[in-house]
Amino acid sequence: MLGADHHNVFKTVESDLTNIGTEPKFAIGQHAFLVQAPGGNVLWDCISLIDDPTVAVIQSLGGISAIAISHPHFYSSMVEWSYAFGGVPIYLHLSNREYVMHPDPVVIFWQGETQSLGEGLTLIRCGGHFPGSAVLHWAAGAEGRGVLLTADTINVVADRRYVSFMHSFPNLIPLPASEVRSVARAVEPFRFDRIYGGWPGSIVASDAQAAVVRSAERYIRAIEG
């Protein structure tokens, strides 16, 4: 059992946003986030370990009303997470349906370019990494300046002033310029000052909206030669 030698760690990264990660590192080391919102808390992305101590901590923070996941690499034990909180809905983009290995009625396949999860919380389909890769816009984040939770759909790089975009990270396969333009266009209408990626420390702390623009422009210049 994973819980025999691993445990989940909770870290408040800003008001109403909690990072959840497993220690020692498991799988690709991804983290999930709990967004506390007036209309109900949302779990963004998923990790494999779900146990009684984890449920207790999350219940103390107000529980979970919905789960939303960026792309298939983070589907993990999403159904088990849902039923640990009473069978809450899991929102996945329809374009990624073929990658769901554990179908269940709690899974809701949303369509189109955006999906509201309540006041101030919006899923945005960006594509790129997967056809239905999505990010979560949290309007109240960063003291009201807006936060984008991106996993690696918009990937925070070592120079925190920039992000990047890939079709396959393990195989270093880039996206074509047209796909990068589409990703940048998808988030352009939304106001955000901060980005949280899916791994520890992957944060663009400020000026994140401009970082996406200048990063897309840099990427396109490089790949178009």
**Domain coordinates in residue numbering, the chain:** 2-224
Q: Which structure tokens are listed for 50?
A: 């779900």
Q: What order do you get walking across the sheet with 90-93 strand by strand?
A: 7-14, 17-23, 32-35, 42-44, 66-68, 90-93, 107-110
Q: Measured over all CA atoms, what is the biggest interatomic distance in the chain, rounded to whole angstroms? A: 53
pLDDT at 27 over 90: no
Mean pLDDT of the chain: 96
Predicted confidence (pLDDT) per residue in 119-149, tens digit? 999 999 999 989 999 999 999 999 999 999 9
Q: Can you name the residues that pair with 73 across neighbouring β-strands? A: none
Q: What is the pLDDT of residue 13?
A: 97
pLDDT at 169 (0 to 100): 87
pLDDT in the model for residue 136? 98
The CATH fold of domain 2-224: Metallo-beta-lactamase; Chain A (3.60.15)
pLDDT of residue 225: 81
Q: Decide: 220 and 175 in contact? Cβ < 8 Å.
A: no
For 155, phi then psi, to 5°, come to -95, 125
Between strands 42-44 and 66-68, the pairing is: parallel
Span 183-203, average pLDDT: 97
Q: What is the pTM of this model?
A: 0.97
- The lowest-confidence range among 13-22, 84-93, 165-174 is 165-174
Give the residue among 10, 42, 21 at the shortest CA–CA distance from 141. 42
Contact, 199 vs 13, CB < 8 A? no
